[in-house]
A and B are shown apart, each in its own frame.
Chain A
Amino acid sequence: MTSVPLDDLAPSSTHDYRRPRGLAAMFHDGAILTWRNLVSLPRTPELVLFTLIQPVMFVVLFNYVFGGSIGQSLPPGVSYAQFLIPGIMVQTIVFGTSATSVGLAEDLQKGLVDRFRSLPIARSAVLSGRIVADTVRLSMVALVLIVVGYVVGFRFEGGLLWGAVMIGFSVAFGFAMSWIMANIGMRVKDPETANTAGFVWLFPLTFLSSVFVPVATMPGWLQPIARNNPVTLVSNLLRELSILGRPAVGTVLPVVLWIIGLTAVFAPMAVNRYRKV
């Protein structure tokens, strides 16, 4: 241990490097922590499995098992694959956001948040690095789904541009949902609990929606709930975008409001929570 000169460890107040300031610091630090989370991603087998295998399995199962019966209740000319892919895209992304709560809880439990907070870095970096990396991950999920979709017969009927808008909306909704998950992760502080707490409520959220079946096929009392579920609203918008191209204002507006609303409520709450943990 002594092969390196002593002064190597010596304290120093004069450095030949300098931290950026203000807004630049927020971007600089956020980018480094985003890098950290993205590098970890392929090294987390359960997450890769979850991200890649699960959507493929769902598409194949639902398309071939339920496709025949549910296909009957769709408007003429719309195949079940056409209906299913946008729905599963929302569902997979929504489920994918629960990794945000697990990741933050893990960082808290393992003391990494303490490590970062003992460094003179931007306060926002831990959260922004997490959310940005998770948003990148969600975009990858969306792309995987499109590829699988093309194999089973899904097409961007309305053109590629609207297809890109569709992916954009699904990821934006995932981004908004991630802030809810960030709050959960920082509140429970234990990865296992965070996993469960981030997961359970997603089942009713995604199944009481138009993700797999049209709302009209549900019992009457359930329909108002399913119809106003944000997951339904987003699924319907994605369908409009992929099947028809140009969406109606009435479909876009509620989704935009949900994305802005969720972010406006849960992002400041998460930032506030982060200050206190």
Chain B
Amino acid sequence: MTTIIEVEDLRKDFGPTRALDGVSLEVEQGTVLGLLGPNGAGKTTTVRVLATLLAPTGGTARVAGFDVRTQPDKVRSIIGLTGQYAAVDEKLTGHENLWMVGRLLGMSKRQAHERAEHLLERFRLSDAGDRQVRTYSGGMRRRVDLAVSLVGRPSVLFLDEPTTGLDPVSRLELWEVARELVADGTTVLLTTQYLEEADELADRIVVIDRGKVIAEGTADELKDRTGGRTLEVVVARRDQVGRAQEVLCGLAPPEGVRTDPAARTVAMPVDHDTALAAEAISALTAAEVEIEDFHLNRPSLDDVFLALTGHAAETGEHHDPGEEHGRRFHGPLPGGADELLTDRKAR
């Protein structure tokens, strides 16, 4: 294994704002690193430094052994960048955008044309290829943006929140593309606010908050630190909440079982044990508790933050100042199924 991205003690100040406060991380060739953090954590800043768009205030960053500060052209010739917001020319067609980048990379007109056609087909944009990008939907824009960053077959790809604003199908497709790229040997650095996404794609996860690395490890390691999954049951009748609690306390350590009488919910930790969840549901049914709804909640980024820092992600989307630290219940979770069906983030 060779290390292809090496970041050491990276610092970046924007005037009085310290965006990066000593970030160090390493990425092995051919793997996916998930850079996880809430709004304002420094994800985009890290990517911009690595993609040679921003000079760091201090520390070093190397891609394939090339220093981003002193050898930017070497770095640029091996990286691909898909930024947080699609960076394509709205007035050009999808094909023209791809063709232009191919030409800039030194391809002949014909090579650039062929590459453009290929990528359009690959990203299901053939029909829209000759239309101006300004007529594209948000998802099509992101796809063409990703395609543009793949024109030069980069060996290191930066994806900055690539699925923000995508519908569930497009999101799954993007994951599939990312997996294929990695299978073909590409190294990917992916930033995200969602543990589920990091979980799906990343070999290793680095969690950053306020410009500092606060944890790293595999998805499982992080989840173990946050307590794993929770079974949440909504009881139909308020007078049965107490009985439901008793039943669950018989199956799990009582201190782990939480009850919210107002919301008629009872929850217990089940970690990776889905059989335990099934058992709990049968036990409740056997005890004649009327169940209105139940679901398995995976740890959200909030949970990870809570576990890692003892405070809720201050600038995070899902932070609700009215709630206590230590809370275990959430509304629709960022990693949950509800979320797939709703707009992830109004930007």
**Is the beta-carbon distance between B111 and A44 smaller than 8 angstroms?**
no
Docked-complex contact A118 and B105, CB < 8 angstroms: no
Contacts of A13 in B (CB 8 A): 78, 155
A-side interface mostly: loop
A201 in the interface (beta carbon within 8 A) = no
Shortest CB-to-CB span from B213 to chain A, Å, is 24
**Residue among B48, B104, B152 with most chain A CB within 10 A:** B104
**A11 CA / B83 CA spacing, docked (Å):** 19
Contact partner of A119 among B76, B86, B96, B124, CB < 8 A? B76
**B159 interface residue (CB < 8 Å to A):** no
- Whether the Cβ atoms of B100 and A32 lie closer than 8 Å is yes
Question: Given A1-B124, A17-B106, A20-B106: A112 and B184 within 8 A (CB)?
Answer: no
- Closest CB of chain B to A12's CB: distance in Å? 4
Interface residues of A in 10-68 (CB under 8 A from B): 10-13, 15-20, 29, 32, 35-36, 39-40, 43-44
Contacts of B180 in A (CB 8 A): 6, 9
B145 to chain A, nearest CB (A): 9
The range of chain B's interface size is: 35 or more
A-chain residues with CB within 8 Å of residue B80 when the two chains form the complex: 118
Taken residue by residue from 92 to 135, chain B's Cβ proximity to chain A (1 for < 8 Å, 0 otherwise) reads as 10001000110111111001000000100111100000001000
Closest partner residue, chain B, to A121 (CB atom): B104
Partner of B153, one of A12, A19, A35, A115: A12
* Partner of B123 from A1, A16, A116 at Cβ < 8 Å: A1
* Complex CA distance for A8 and B121, rounded to whole angstroms: 11
Alpha-carbon distance A3/B118, docked complex (angstroms): 11
Residues on A with C-beta less than 8 A from B111 are: 16-17
Which of A18, A29, A40, A114 sits near B89, CB closer than 8 Å? A40
A115 & B81 in contact (Cβ 8 Å cutoff): yes
Report the Cα distance A19→B48, complex, angstroms. 24
Output the nearest chain A residue to B104 by Cβ-Cβ distance: A121
B336 smallest CB distance to A (angstroms): 26
Question: At the interface, yes or no: B73 with Cβ under 8 Å from chain A?
Answer: yes
> Is there contact, CB below 8 Å, between B108 and A17?
yes
The yes or no answer to A257 lying at the interface (CB within 8 A) is: no
Give chain B residues whose Cβ lies under 8 Å from the Cβ of A112.
Answer: 87-89
Cβ of B83 and Cβ of A39 under 8 Å apart? Answer: no
CB neighbours (8 Å) of B91 from chain A are 39-40, 43-44
Known: A3-B121, A43-B91. A19 touches B183 (CB 8 A): no
B87 touches A8 (CB 8 A): no
B220 close to chain A: CB less than 8 A: no
Q: With A32-B103, A112-B89, A118-B51 given, is the CB distance from A9 to B181 under 8 Å?
A: yes
Bound CA span A83–B130, Å? 46
> Shortest Cβ distance from A24 into chain B, in angstroms?
11
The yes or no answer to B52 lying at the interface (CB within 8 A) is yes
- The answer, among B87, B90, B122, B155, for a CB contact under 8 Å with A1, is B122
CB distance from B5 to the nearest CB of A (A): 14
B233 on interface, CB distance cutoff 8 Å:
no
Q: How far is the CB of B159 from chain A (nearest CB, A)?
A: 13
Check B122–A8 contact: CB distance below 8 A. yes
Q: In the complex the two chains form, is A115's CB within 8 Å of B150's CB?
A: no
- The answer, yes or no, to whether B252 is at the interface (CB within 8 Å) is no
Contacts of A15 in B (CB 8 A): 105-106, 152-153
Asked if B22 lies at the interface with its beta carbon under 8 angstroms from chain A, I say: no
> Are the C-beta atoms of A9 and B122 separated by less than 8 Å?
yes
- Known pairs A10-B186, A110-B90, A115-B87 / 13 extra A-B pairs, C-beta < 8 Å: A1-B122, A4-B118, A4-B121, A11-B155, A13-B78, A17-B106, A19-B105, A19-B106, A39-B92, A40-B92, A44-B91, A111-B85, A119-B101
A interface, CB within 8 angstroms of B: 1, 3-4, 6-13, 15-20, 29, 32, 35-36, 39-40, 43-44, 110-112, 114-121, 125
**22 A-B pairs in the complex with CB atoms less than 8 angstroms apart:** A1-B124, A1-B173, A7-B184, A9-B122, A11-B154, A11-B155, A11-B181, A12-B153, A12-B155, A13-B78, A13-B155, A15-B152, A17-B105, A17-B106, A17-B108, A19-B106, A36-B100, A111-B83, A114-B48, A115-B148, A117-B53, A118-B53
Shortest 8 CB-CB contacts between residues of A and residues of B: A111-B87, A19-B106, A40-B91, A11-B155, A10-B184, A120-B76, A115-B87, A120-B77
